[in-house]
Amino acid sequence: MQLNADATPGIEAPAPTGDMTLLIVDDDRAFVQRLGRAMEARGYAVTVAESVREGLEAVDRSPPAFAVVDMGSATGRASTSSRR
């Protein structure tokens, strides 16, 4: 999987504005590293959590503008927690 704005013809990634914080909740370290690097290169401050519980704790500490959550996480029920 390549994270590249140029991968989709005719669609350009807009320059981020405002709150540029992103929380990634996923236990797949390779995916998290790729996505995290790509988003940091675009100016986002990235926080990573390896479990739903860690993700909720991160949100309590500092709510992000955006979150990417593995809905099939083996480390917790993301579908239930995402309602929070």
Q: Say whether pTM exceeds 0.75.
A: no
With tokens 């790509």, the residue in question is 38
Render pLDDT for 59-82 as a digit per residue (tens, 0 to 9). Answer: 999 999 999 999 876 555 544 444
State the CATH number of the domain containing residue 37: 3.40.50.2300
Cβ-Cβ contacts under 8 Å for 1 (sequence gap 6 or more): 31, 34
Report if residue 25 sits inside a domain. Answer: yes
**Residue positions counted in the chain:** 84
Domain membership flag for residue 6:
no
Res 9: pLDDT: 54
Number of compact structural domains in the chain: 1
Instruction: Determine the structural domain holding residue 28 and report its residue range.
Output: 19-81
Query: Residue 67's closest CA among 35, 37, 41, 30?
Result: 35
- Is residue 61 in some structural domain? yes
Q: Decide if 12 is inside a domain.
A: no
Q: Is residue 60 part of a domain?
A: yes
For residue range 12-44, list pLDDT tens digits in order.
555 656 789 999 999 999 999 999 999 999 999
Q: Is residue 11 part of a domain?
A: no
Give the closest residue to 14 by CA, choosing from 2, 5, 22, 23.
5
